[in-house]
A and B are shown apart, each in its own frame.
Chain A
Amino acid sequence: MLASFLHAAVIAGTPLSFAILGEILTERAGKLNLGVEGLMLMGAVIGFKTALLTSNPFLALCGAALAGAAGALIFAFLTVTLRSNQVVTGLALTIFGTGFASFVGQGLAGFVTPEQVKSFFHPLPLPLLSRIPFLGEVLFDHSIFVYAGYLVVIAAYFYLYKTRFGLNLRAVGENTAAADAAGINITKYKFVHILAGGILAGLGGAFLSLVYVPTWQDNITTGRGWIAVALVIFCKWNPIRIFIGAFLFGGLDIIGFRLQGLNIHISQYFFDMLPYIVTVLILIMMSVKDSKESSPPAELGRPYFREDK
């Protein structure tokens, strides 16, 4: 019972883990991208449309990643090259992405992910690991998309803390001027990580439309992009904590549905509010115990202009 609940929570948390990771990389480069919701929607719709047209899971994933990257490229060009206001640019990206998704998704409502794509993402119990009692069922009996989620999170952790590139990236986020003076190509670092963030957000969206739902519906993300931005704070900009944040929220996402089966008479609409309410509570908690460890990259949200220094 508990194992099957946690198993479902891991699936529900997977789109979030992609999006959170993307935003962590973006914010580590000093950029606050509030367009995650829009990027996820763009990835979701292009991934779904490509799947419908080609029935090829790889092309669908590539399409989603490209859509996310394209959206992120707009953000990067505007905020890095043209130094526009990051908050408003992010909002514009969300508005654009939402419009883009309902535009492309017009007439797709009700279509189901093609069988070839569905079977590709079918659960694939990992040998040996899936036989571990309890944990095996919760963690290692999933679609390869979920495993890919584990892998990118772990890889990002090592990238960020164990490689020179990661060290440079953290330097860019903490003190852009110093990083610049040390000869780090800050523009390149910013572009690369904003784009990586877009790709990950796009893939998170594609998980929703291809695996989780898996039909098309308007506004398929229902605020998950925004929750991801909030959970970056909860994760303290550390990828490894995504495993806690994303799967906790995966659990909140499905708890209403599960409890209905137990004949508990609380309106489902209150359960639907839960992820948003808990997000707010986490935001408050994190700001109340404002410690050094949980503080954002020092340059977050600030524009950088070499000639200013």
Chain B
Amino acid sequence: MIQIVKKGETSKKKKILIHISALFFALLTASLFILLMGHSPLKVYLSMIQGAFGTSYRLSETIVKTIPLVITSLGIALAFRMKFWNIGAEGQIIMGAFGASWFALSYPHLPSWILLPLMALGGLIGGGLWALIPAFFRARFRTNETIFTLMLNYIALKWITYLQNGPWKDPGALGFPKIPNFHEHAVLPRLFGIHIGWLIALILVALSALFINRTKKGYEIQVIGESENTARYAGINVPGTILTTIFLSGALCGLTGMIEASAINKTLSVEITGGVGYTAIITAWLANLKEPLIIVVSFLFAAMIQGSSYIQMAFQIPQSAAEILQGLILFFVLGSEFFIRYRIHIRRNPVKGVS
């Protein structure tokens, strides 16, 4: 008979081994799909790697795709640590981009060194306030934040659609519904060939790690995540901490929106997020909400996305294959956690009468 027993602490080495084998099984399952489509899995995976790292241009594209994932994952991780299921990053990115774009379009002639910080501020506030709405109701009435934050994604998207087709429509675009391009003053500068977002991302990783591990607020967030009741008995101001943390969480996502609008799109559009808000949920979770790991996982996922846009051309495999692969990886890792927490005993001779 099979008996399942809770394990004590699993060694770090074993944990990593279990996660890597989960990744392996996910790729193996994906290989079956690729085989069914009549391609050689090995060839597809190899050309994915080539597509992501093959040339210096492709590598820089992979890094460019890593930046928004890292910053958004940091924001999501902050909320998840408190077990506040913020799945509204997508909307917070959009509203951050909206805040930044408002400055960019209203004051296009300000010099860069004033305009860019203002846009960043707009991004932080836009994303932060948008996240604050569900945080307020969660803190005050325990309103379910999961669905709340998700609904706000759709509302933010419709808001931008409205702007794009209405008040912010570019009169010079011959009736095509788009928002005017930013002035060059509103575009983030480059550093070593890649827009400066990479430096911002690295700084934010360091700041987040310090905040969570070295400050009182960071500690309080972790206590709330463990148990809200414990936190309350310990005298922690739970509603206040929820509000501040979720504002910060949304602000980080909003900053992603500012960076993407300024450096990549050079305007505001409904496609500004490219699904980053959802992918970052996976990366944050897979990184176990740990800041340094977030860089690694985000880079791997960016490579997967970049690689899959390459195999789309080479093998006519739709780009949504990347989403399926992401889902599979997450399934396998989620399943593998079982083997970290439990041990399975198989007993040969069950004692009769006892089950």
Contacts and interface: CB of A to CB of B under 8 A. Distances in A.
Interface residues of B, number: 47
A99 B88 CA distance: 19
A98 B335 contact: no
Interface string A205-228: 000000000000000001100110
Contacts of B152: 276, 280
Contact of A287 (B5, B85, B142, B166): B142
Given A226-B151, A273-B158, A95 B143 contact: no
Given A88-B330, A283-B144, A99 B321 contact: yes
Interface in B257-298: 278-279, 281-282, 285
A177 interface: no
Contact of A99 (B146, B147, B322): B322
Contacts of A58: none
Nearest to A38: B327
A87 B322 CA distance: 22
A78 B327 CA distance: 13
Contact of A229 (B5, B147, B159): B147
Contact of B147 (A96, A226, A305): A226
Q: Is the interface of B mostly helix, strand, loop or mixed?
A: helix
B270 to A, nearest CB: 11
B334 to A, nearest CB: 4
Contacts of A99: 320-327
B141 A287 contact: yes
Given A82-B335, A230-B144, A307-B4, 14 more contacts: A74-B331, A78-B335, A84-B338, A92-B327, A95-B278, A222-B154, A229-B147, A269-B165, A272-B161, A276-B151, A277-B155, A287-B137, A287-B144, A290-B142
A85 interface: yes
Interface of B: 4-6, 85, 87, 137, 141-144, 146-148, 150-152, 154-155, 158-159, 161-162, 165-166, 278-279, 281-282, 285, 318, 320-328, 330-331, 334-335, 337-338, 341-342
| Residue of B150, B159, B322, B323 with most partner-chain A CB within 10 A | B150
10 contacts: A82-B338, A91-B87, A96-B324, A96-B328, A227-B151, A269-B159, A272-B161, A287-B142, A290-B142, A307-B5
Contacts of A186: none
Contacts of B146: 34, 87
Nearest to A79: B334
A100 B30 CA distance: 12
A29 to B, nearest CB: 19
A88 B80 CA distance: 11
A288 to B, nearest CB: 5
B127 to A, nearest CB: 18
A83 interface: yes
Contacts of A92: 282, 327, 330-331, 334
Interface residues of A, number: 47
A267 interface: yes
Nearest to B327: A96
Contacts of A98: 320, 323
A279 interface: yes
Contact of B331 (A78, A106, A226): A78
A93 interface: yes
A120 to B, nearest CB: 30
Nearest to B160: A269
Contacts of B155: 273, 276-277, 280
Interface in A65-102: 74, 77-78, 82-85, 87-89, 91-93, 95-100, 102
A88 B330 CA distance: 9
A84 B151 contact: no
A89 B327 contact: no
Contacts of B150: 223, 226
B334 A307 contact: no
A108 to B, nearest CB: 11
A91 B281 contact: yes
Contacts of B281: 88, 91, 95
Nearest to B136: A284
Interface string A279-293: 110011001101000
B334 A78 contact: yes
B85 to A, nearest CB: 5
Contacts of A85: 334, 337
A91 B159 CA distance: 24
A257 to B, nearest CB: 15
A85 to B, nearest CB: 7
Contact of A270 (B5, B162, B323, B337): B162
Contacts of B285: 88
Contact of B323 (A102, A229, A233, A290): A102
Contacts of A233: 144
Nearest to A272: B158
A103 interface: yes
Nearest to B162: A269
Contacts of A308: 6
Interface in A20-57: 34
Given A230-B147, A272-B158, A103 B321 contact: yes
A70 B161 CA distance: 35
Given A88-B330, A91-B281, A273 B320 contact: no
A289 B245 CA distance: 26
Contacts of B341: 83
A102 B327 contact: no
A209 B152 CA distance: 25
Contacts of B321: 99, 103
B141 A284 contact: yes
A280 B334 CA distance: 30
A78 to B, nearest CB: 5
Contacts of A34: 146
A78 B148 CA distance: 25
B151 A96 contact: no
Nearest to A98: B323
B161 A269 contact: yes
